[in-house]
Structure formats: structure tokens, C-alpha cells
Chain A
Amino acid sequence: MRTVKVRDYSLALFLVLTGLDWTARAGDAATALPQAPPQGPLKQLSLEQLGNLEVTTASKSPEQVWKTAAAIFVITQEDIKRSGATSIPEALRLAPGVEVARVDGNTWSIGIRGFGSNLTRDVLVLIDGRSVYSTLLAGTYWDVQDTVIEDIDRIEVIRGPGGTVWGPNAVNGVIDIITKKSQDTQGTLVTLGGGDEEQGFLSARYGGGNSKGLTYRVYGKGFNRGPEFHPNGQDYDRWRSIQGGFRTDWNKNARDTFTLQGDIYDEGAGESANLVSYTPPYSQQLDQTAPLSGGNLLGRWTRVFSEGQDIQLQAYYDRTNRHSPNFGDLRNTFDVDYLQRFRIGDRNQFSFGLGARASQGHEIEIASGLFFSPGTRTDQLYSAFVQDNIALVPNRVTLEIGTKLLHTNYTGVQAEPSARFMWTPTETETIWAAFTRAVRTPSDGERDFFLSGYIGPDPATGLQRFARFNGNPNFKSEVLNGYELGFRHLLGKSFYVDLAGFFNQYHDLFSEDLTGGFGMETTPPPSEIPPSTHLLLPAEFGNGLMGTTTGGEFAPEWKPTSFWALKGSYSFLHMVLKKEPGSQDVGTGPIIAGSSPQHQVLAQSQFDLPRHFTLDLSYRYVSALPAQTVRAYSTGSVRLGWNPTRHLELSVVGSNLLQPYHFEYPSTAINRSFYGKLEWRSKEN
């Protein structure tokens, strides 16, 4: 089906190629066909010249997104670069349905379709297939997930349970950060810059290889970041980091590919932590820089037999050393995964996978108010999935059914079935619907965790009063039944629209339950300090909440001319949480529901200007968080880039420009800030 495009081609088409003596020439502007760009200049090029031309690709309909029956959004490297984001959490702001609230200089509260938190529980986060979700507190430590931002190929964000292929913890979404293959990061890349908050940063990467299919890259990077604005004068949230790593890819032959990659890091992230103990001073606020270090190593082998028939084997090791002011976690994680795809007949594409993970953690107790018992535990996870993708009507209607099975050291076997249906009535439209059941398995943070809070002295007895969440050996999985619907439409070649809606039913959600009244406790739980007598209000983390989230995301993209692109999104969320019958929850339901914004708007305008300048503007609106007394805010950022040569790019970025500072989360406000950056590549841009 051919569409006639009427474009204004009074622009001359110029091609500038470096490395070759090619002078810019005007295309046949006057005689150009109104329906298509003049191909005259391109046809004059030799094969080598054609292969050196950088091209723009069709907007947001890569096959992987088009054919996926899920609410998937791909944040491309180009989007990340043009947004001026210097960290992965900041880049996540570009995806619809994701709430990103910056808590302080090194902490973000992130959630997908609600439930935002510092640890982003209920979301599976992966970097190149390695799960970075920690089983200690069932979440992701965003302050240690970093890489050379320019070598990120894309970030795939799936809102919703995402289906059977994804690993454990994929309840509200999946975030997959994919770095470029080493064949695509050859040569030298140096970036450096600084500003007021982004005080200084430097990264260097070198990529090489031989002509037998082996390529590699090595990198080093570091940064120093200043604190955000605290009305009470604190400035603990400084952040410094140094990190290095490598990646090698070997395409042995047409069938086999091997990858080996690893990173190692050492950071200091400032935290303000509350330290509670049963001896004086009972409660103190510690502003300290937390040393965080670690490393990982991942290996992967892929063998392709033919289209739709392949196998993949992957194994990784991850080490995390976290020394927060109020507790420490030293953790080793080993993981092995196997995945196979095969076809049966013409219409059935099967996939299945097996995975095993062991995560051994040793918790360091700093004060008696926070500890894990047992202090050392190995969490085991076994997972399997099987899925059939059935072409009911070839190229038009597909049905994907499958299930994931999970078994952890805390739970028996749990099934997470999923059914996804997709209809492509024309080449430019697609409609999909899905049902998924997903579970978030218990973590050490509910079963083994003892967390105390200091209330104050009791006037009657003079004893100190505390409340304590005691580990709940009966904490079970949180459950989601998710119903989703989506629509994608490509209008002509320049307008693309993506719409998704969801209705999620939750039960057995994490709740904070009182388990009794005040009682006297004489001996504190196992620790080194001498015993004391105090009053204790016992509580535990239970499964006492249930509720629903309803909403949708609308993300259009429009490229009116070859040098101007407009992108944006509107996300809507309506959350209702309440106590399950018989629950002793203290009333956290409305607080969780009131901690997510109901509306979010993002609008971006990307211009390619003459004389090798680029100008990118973005505007963002987030509605209020009533339970956190954070008002609605809107802010904007600007990036101006200049390529004086094909190897060099200079840029200036201004962020959070609309006010001197604004609150996204209580107590710390985000400053207006600027930074400048220089990027040099030995291979042309």
C-alpha cells in the first residue's frame, strides 16, 4: 500500500562526508519530484561512500517495538544524548508511565505505574541481561547502576508485567539497559565536562579488535557531584564515583557468538540516615558518605541454528559492598540462565528457559535498631518459563501464551501465566491485549529484617518507647493480576502514536501491621550492647493491603521536517489501596497511593540547526504527591550542541530551569543547574 507523501523539498539536500574529499553540492532542488527526495546526489556515490553515510532511521517503529504485545518504550541513545541526562535514573524520565522523583543528590524514587520508591521494588531492572535487583530488600540500588552513557545503545522500558520471557520481580515493569556491542564502540571516545552541580566528570573508552570477528572495548570513568538544596542547611548528598570495565564480543562463525563483559566501581554517596539504638542517644541522624563498591562479570554464548531456532547460555557473578551509615550489606550473587527458541511447523514459535540464582549476603549491624536475623543468608531462586507464539493468521493475528514458574527459598513453586493477543489489521496499525499474573516473592527485608523506630520517653514510667518491625516468617508473595490494552499507529512516515491502558488488581500487598500494644522488653534482641529495659510497640511487615491501579499512557512522535522532531507523552494513574479484611495495617494504603503523581506530561523538541548546531528543549509537568506534601511542579531543560568537526562535539546543558529550585520529594529541593561537556571521538560522529 503506497502512500503519496507531499513534502516541501524547496530545501536543498546537502551531503557532507568527512574522510573523503567531497565538497557539498546542491541537489536538484528546482526539479525535485514533490513526492520523494532527489536521489541524484546519492546515486553518484561509490559503494564505499554509500557505506560511510550516516542515516536517519524511521521514527519509533523498529520491528521489536511494533511486534511486541506489551507497553514497551525504547529510549534510544539519541534521546538520552539530546536530553542531557548524565545518569540512568535521569534518562528514565523519558519513558511514559515511569515516575522519577529525585530525592536528593544521589537518590531517586522511581516506579512504573505507581509504587515509586528509592528501591523501585516490583520492577525488574537488568543491565545487558544481568539482573541488578537485590534480594536483600527486593529492590535496585540506583546509585551504583552506571556505565559510559554514550555507550548505552538503548533502554527498553516495559510498563506492566511484560510477559513470561522476563525474569523474577517483573511485576510493575521491566527496565532493560542495553549497551552497544563492542563492534559498535570502536576507536577512542573521551568525554569531559563540569558545571555547578555536575562538578566534574571524565570518561575514556577505547575499542579495538582483529579482523577475525573478535572485538573489545575498555573504559574508565569518574565523576564528582555536589549536593542539592536543603532548606535546613544540610549538604550531605555529595556523590563521587570511579568505575572501569570492559566488553569483548567474538563472532566465531555464522552461528556462534560469545560475549564477556565486566565492571568494577568504587563510590562514595552521601546519606543522611537515622540510627536507632536501645541505649543513649536512642536516635541520631548521621550524615555520612557511604562507601559503595563492587564489580561484576558476565559471559554469554549464543548459537543460531536458523531463523527462530537458537539457544543462549549466560552466567554472571556480581559482588556488592554497601556500607550505609546505619547498616552494611556484603553480597555475592551467582546466576546461570539458559534460553532456547524453536519452531514447530509454520505457525508456532516456542521459547523456554531455565534459570538459577544464588545470592549470599552478610549483613553488618551498626546499631541495635536495625539488623537482620540471621545475619548471613543465601537466597536461592529457580525459575523456568515456557511460551508459544502462535500465528493464528500469518502476519495479522498472533496469540502468545505462556507461563513463568518461580521457586525461592521462601516460597514453593508459583506460577505466573500470561496470555497476549496482537492484531495487525494494516501495515501501519497494531492492536494488542494482554492478561498477566505476576508475583513479587518475599525478600530478606520482610522475613529477616528487624527495624526499630524511636518514639520518645514515656512520661508515666520514664522508660524509652520504641516501635519495631519484627521479621515476619509468614510474609508471602505480593500478587498482581494485570489487564492491558494497547494501540500503535504509524501515519505516513512522520507521525507515530502509541497508546496503552491498564487495569491492575493487587492483593497481599506489603503492609505495616501492628501486632500488639506496648509491652515491656528487658533484653534487646541479640547484639553486643548491655541489656536495657524499654517499652516496645511490636509490628511487622504483612500482606495486608489490596487495591487497584488504572490508567494509561499516550506517546506521540512527530517529525514534521528532516531537521525537527517532536516527542512527548502523557501518563495518567489512578491508584486506590485499602486494607484487606482483618488486616492490622496502620493506614499505609492512602499514603502509598498519595505518593504517586496522577498526571505526568513530557514534551521534547529536537532541532538540527545549520552550521552543525543542535538545540533540544524539553518540558516536564508532574502533578502533586498529596501524601508527601509535594506540590505539582513543572520544569524544563535546554541543550545546545555544536559539532565544529566530525570528531568533536561541545555542548551546554541547563536543567531544571523554570525555578531556582523545586521539590520533587519532601525535604530536598532540586537546584537549577548547568554543565558544559566536550566529547571527542577518533571515529567520526
Chain B
Amino acid sequence: MLLAFIFAVFSGPRHALDAQQSKPEEYQVKAVYLFNFGKFIEWPQATPKDNLFGVCVLGHDPFGATLDATINGEIIEGKKLVARRIAGIQDAANCRILFISMSEANHVKQILASVERTGVLTVSDMPDFTSSGGMIQFILRENKVRFEVNLSAAEKAGLTFSSQLLKVATTVKRDEQKGVEGQ
């Protein structure tokens, strides 16, 4: 084991010259996806009250500072993006994108029912999210982050998805009955 420690000390911080193959973390990529969803989706006109575009996390926050690092300083539709952590659905008033954490899996249906027609994009990585009425569900395929779309849920909320976004989704569901396989 001494050998392992010596090795660790000398293989310490590597420098920019080395093309090191380093993989991003799952939630770094998901945070960038949330930012992209903001760019490729159109919200209905009558939302929200202030000039901020809220990206909210409900429940246990798996992103941490990564979410802020991703959206701080960005502007979509003339509104500044802000990251918020909320503990309950009652605080979701100014959220455009709502990421629902796996910690809320036991009452996801209630959450989705409360935000149903408020023009909020619901995103999660909990299993069966789109079957429960969620709009976008992250899935891991061969260690790559992909996503499924429930288009009926999105249309009910008045959201319009760009065809570019639908093209890269693995599945686009309508009416919870038929699924159309994407890429």
C-alpha cells in the first residue's frame, strides 16, 4: 500500500499540457441540460410576475453550487436566470423550471397536480416520472445522461418544445399510452 501512497503524491495536480481524460459528473451535465431546456422551450405569455427566470430545485438538492455556476449571468427571453432551492410547492410561484428531487418521490403526484396548469416545466430523474405526469425525465444510458419527454403534460401546461429538443430525446410520450422512440 506504500507504493500506492507514493504514487498518489507524485501523480498530484496535473497540468494543462496533459490531455487528461476526465469525465464530468452526472449533475454537472444535468445542470447544463436544465439551462438548455430554458433555451429550447417557449413559455406561454402570462407568466411570472417579476423579471427573473427561476430555476428551482424542490427537495434534496443534488446539484449544489454546480447549478449556480451553470446559470448565473445567463439571460433567457430577456429575464435573468436565478437558482432557487425550495422546500415546498407553495414557494414555486416564480419558477419557470422546477427540478423535483428523488427525495420527493413519495408524493410526486401531488406536486405535479399543484403545478399542473401554472406553466412550469417539471423535470426530474426519479424513476417513472413521465408515467406520473412529469414533463422531462433524465435517464442514464450506458453512463450517459439522456432524457424522455411527456409531451401531453407539457402541452397541457402551455409549453412549446422546439423540434431540436424533441429530436434528441430518447422517447417522446403522448397520452401515457404510446411512446415514439427517438434517438
**Chain A residues with a Cβ under 8 A of chain B:** 1-5, 8, 10-16, 24, 26, 29, 33, 35-39, 42-43, 45, 47-48, 50-58, 63, 183-184, 211-213, 251, 253-255, 304, 306-307, 346, 391, 394-395, 427, 493, 562-564, 603, 605, 607-612, 615, 617, 619, 643, 683
A340 to chain B, nearest CB (A): 16
Contact of B16 with A by CB under 8 A: yes
> Which A residues are CB-close (under 8 A) to B183?
51
> Which B residues are CB-close (under 8 A) to A33?
65, 69
CB of B176 within 8 A of CB of A254, answer yes
> Which A residues are CB-close (under 8 A) to B165?
47
Query: How many Å lie between the Cα of A211 and that of B21 in the bound state?
Result: 32
Binary interface encoding of chain B residues 136-165 relative to chain A, with 1 for a CB under 8 A from any of its CBs, else 0: 000011111110000000000000000011
CB closest chain-B residue, reference A428: B60
Query: How many Å lie between the Cα of A564 and that of B107 in the bound state?
Result: 37
Q: List 20 A-B contacts (CB under 8 A).
A: A4-B65, A11-B22, A37-B66, A37-B69, A39-B66, A47-B168, A48-B168, A54-B23, A54-B144, A55-B29, A55-B144, A56-B24, A183-B141, A253-B179, A254-B173, A254-B177, A306-B128, A306-B131, A395-B104, A564-B8
CB of A307 within 8 A of CB of B132, answer yes
Contact of B116 with A by CB under 8 A: no
Interface size on B, residues (CB 8 A): 69
Q: Decide: A29 near B16, CB < 8 A? Known: A51-B144, A213-B181, A346-B107.
A: yes
CB closest chain-A residue, reference B164: A47
Binary interface encoding of chain B residues 30-69 relative to chain A, with 1 for a CB under 8 A from any of its CBs, else 0: 0111011000100000000000000000001110111011
> Which A residues are CB-close (under 8 A) to B179?
213, 251, 253-254
CB of A56 within 8 A of CB of B18, answer no
CB of B131 within 8 A of CB of A307, answer yes
B1 to chain A, nearest CB (A): 6
CB of A493 within 8 A of CB of B64, answer yes
Contact of B118 with A by CB under 8 A: no
B84-136: which residues lie under 8 A (CB-CB) from chain A? 85, 102-109, 127-128, 130-132
CB of B33 within 8 A of CB of A50, answer yes
Query: How many Å lie between the Cα of A48 and that of B167 in the bound state?
Result: 9
> Which A residues are CB-close (under 8 A) to B23?
53-56, 562
Q: Decide: A8 near B13, CB < 8 A? Known: A14-B22, A55-B25.
A: yes
User: Which among B16, B21, B106, B143 is the interface contact of A55 at CB below 8 angstroms?
Assistant: B143
CB closest chain-A residue, reference B15: A12
> Which B residues are CB-close (under 8 A) to A254?
130-131, 173, 176-179
Q: Decide: A607 near B11, CB < 8 A? Known: A36-B66, A39-B31, A563-B22.
A: yes
> Which A residues are CB-close (under 8 A) to B140?
55, 57
Query: How many Å lie between the Cα of A5 and that of B36 in the bound state?
Result: 25
CB of A53 within 8 A of CB of B29, answer yes
